[in-house]
């Protein structure tokens, strides 16, 4: 985790768009600002004002029985779609800027949804809020003032990175989210989001998040153009340049994937040395394997879960909400790290969550989590998500999640036994090495599930 990088980006956004205490939404009419509060309604259904706003934008119904009719009505919005990006007016970063207040301190009745048994904040719930906020930010960037509903279907394509930059997250102090579009392609957008918590009457940085969203047509069947972005200051030019660099890094990382390319010479040496370290010195045989001291076979670090995807967890397009998928994957990953390390783990980084396939309502969601790399107090966890319908038993991969945790004490080494596990080890090592700088665990680092 690079704490200084996170603070620098949060400071940059403060200079770019000075946030106020409440939640304000930037618009082309600055005098017309709206305020939203994330809150729990008095019902078992997850409802907050951000999600309500998203439903209003796309014309989604809160009643599951009406979802077919609502999607039919969206077909009429095709005429509002641009045939090229040149026909769309450019937007400023401040046009998409939003702040959202999560008033855990000023409205104590909200805490239970976010509360852990250790009296900390559930990070899985924060992931849900970030996902909803990222989509709303993109709709503000592409707002059509002449249309009541947006013809775009905006969905999360990738969680590029989430870095923690504060060591204490209390369930008794207000939390504020802010974010805006920072880079735009033809059909995709990068969103920068920050999270702050009130401390000594000031909001201090907690995390820095980068999401990539894609725009699709009104029926969510094909790509759609998004408004271009105009840059108004050197700070905005720097954010946009960073977005270009992030895109290039993603392309390079993908091209070097172990599913496409063989490991490097250094990585092959690493795997061979690990193999030699597990050979039984009493026998001269490649088949006789023993673990070194303080080590665990990778296959023994797995945990699995199964969820039935009910309508309650649907998004505005009647697919399963991406934030729900992230929360479930994170909580299983956290349990895996806890079980492996023997003490409570703390989230350090989330990165490279690719949404490969939408999850339909009614699907069976299979999650498989395992430790794939360790070093010192760090635990790299990979969670694989796949779905199967009730009628079709074929499993399809939907997501792969990567979480970096830190344990309160040094953890065992994890050793691969097969070639496939060796590739998982190297992939985990690559993700771990992408962390800009190590962190020092302190007693007040309280971000848990």
Q: Give the pLDDT of residue 329.
A: 95
- Whole-Å CA distances, 155 to 48, 232, 271, 426: 18, 27, 38, 30
Kind plus residue range of the DSSP H or E element containing 157: strand 153-164
What is each CA distance from 46 to 39, 41, 70, 78, 377, in whole angstroms?
9, 7, 20, 30, 36
**Mean pLDDT of successive 10-residue stretches along the chain, which has 449 residues:** 50 45 34 37 40 83 70 78 92 94 87 88 93 94 86 92 81 92 96 92 92 91 94 95 91 85 95 91 76 93 94 82 92 96 91 86 93 96 91 86 93 95 96 69 45
β-pairing, 396-406 vs 202-216, is unpaired
**In a 10 Å sphere around its CB, with 0-12 CB exposed, 13-18 middle and 19+ buried, how is residue 191 labelled?**
buried
Query: For residues 264-285, b (16+ Cβ closer than 10 Å) or e, as one string?
Result: eeebeebbeebbeebeeeeeee
Quote the pLDDT of residue 192: 97
Parallel, antiparallel, or unpaired: how do β-strands 153-164 and 202-216 relate?
antiparallel
Residue 449, pLDDT score: 57
Name the nearest CA neighbour of 367 among 334, 392, 338, 344.
334
Q: Are strands 346-355 and 202-216 parallel, antiparallel or unpaired?
A: unpaired
Q: Which of 237, 218, 336 is nearest to 12 (CA)?
A: 237
As to burial, measured by CB atoms within 10 angstroms (0-12 exposed, 13-18 middle, 19+ buried), residue 261 is exposed
Please state, in angstroms and rounded to a whole number, the distance separating the CA atoms of residues 16 and 239.
Answer: 10
Which residue has 């599913």 as its token pair? 259
Indicate the SS3 state at residue 80.
helix
Q: How far is CA 75 from the centre of its chain?
A: 30
Contact (Cβ atoms closer than 8 angstroms) between residue 301 and residue 417: no
Do the Cβ atoms of 122 and 116 come closer than 8 Å? yes
């Amino acid at each position: 985790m690079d704490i200084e990088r996170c603070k620098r980006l949060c400071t940059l956004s403060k200079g770019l768009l000075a946030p106020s205490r409440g939640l304000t939404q930037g618009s082309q009419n600055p005098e017309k600002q709206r305020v939203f509060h994330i809150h729990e309604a008095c019902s078992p259904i997850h409802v907050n004002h951000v999600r309500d706003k998203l439903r209003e934008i796309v014309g989604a119904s809160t009643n599951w029985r009406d979802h077919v009719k609502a999607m039919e009505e969206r077909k009429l919005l095709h005429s509002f779609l641009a045939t090229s990006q040149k026909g769309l007016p450019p937007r400023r970063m401040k046009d998409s800027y939003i702040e959202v207040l999560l008033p855990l301190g000023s409205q104590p009745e909200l805490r239970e949804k976010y509360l852990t048994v250790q009296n900390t904040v559930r990070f899985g719930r924060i992931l849900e809020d970030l996902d909803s906020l990222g989509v709303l930010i993109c709709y503000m960037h592409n707002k059509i003032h002449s249309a009541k509903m947006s013809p775009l279907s905006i969905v999360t394509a990738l969680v590029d990175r989430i870095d923690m930059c504060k060591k204490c997250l209390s369930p008794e102090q207000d939390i504020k989210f802010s974010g805006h579009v920072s880079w735009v392609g033809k059909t995709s957008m990068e969103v920068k989001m920050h999270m702050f918590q009130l401390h000594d009457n000031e909001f201090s940085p907690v995390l820095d998040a980068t999401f990539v969203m894609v725009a699709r047509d009104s029926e969510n069947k094909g790509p759609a153009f998004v408004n271009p972005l105009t840059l108004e200051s050197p700070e905005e030019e720097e954010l946009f340049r960073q977005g270009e660099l992030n895109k290039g890094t993603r392309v390079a990382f993908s091209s070097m994937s172990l599913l496409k390319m063989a490991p490097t010479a250094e990585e092959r040496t690493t795997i061979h040395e690990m193999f030699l370290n597990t050979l039984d010195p009493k026998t001269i045989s490649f088949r006789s394997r023993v673990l070194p001291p303080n080590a665990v076979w990778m296959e023994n670090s797995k945990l699995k879960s199964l969820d039935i995807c009910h309508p309650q967890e649907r998004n505005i397009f009647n697919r399963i909400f991406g934030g729900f998928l992230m929360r479930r994957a994170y909580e299983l990953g956290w349990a895996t790290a806890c079980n492996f390390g023997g003490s409570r783990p703390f989230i350090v980084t989330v990165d490279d969550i690719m949404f490969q396939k939408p999850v339909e309502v009614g699907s069976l969601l299979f999650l498989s989590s395992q430790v794939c790399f360790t070093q010192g107090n760090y635990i790299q966890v990979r969670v694989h998500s796949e779905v199967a319908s009730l009628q079709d038993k074929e499993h399809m991969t939907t997501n792969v999640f990567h979480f970096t945790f830190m344990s309160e004490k040094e953890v065992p080494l994890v050793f691969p036994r097969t070639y496939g596990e060796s590739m998982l080890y190297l992939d985990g090592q690559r993700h771990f090495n992408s962390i800009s700088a190590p962190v020092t665990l302190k007693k007040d680092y309280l971000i848990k599930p």
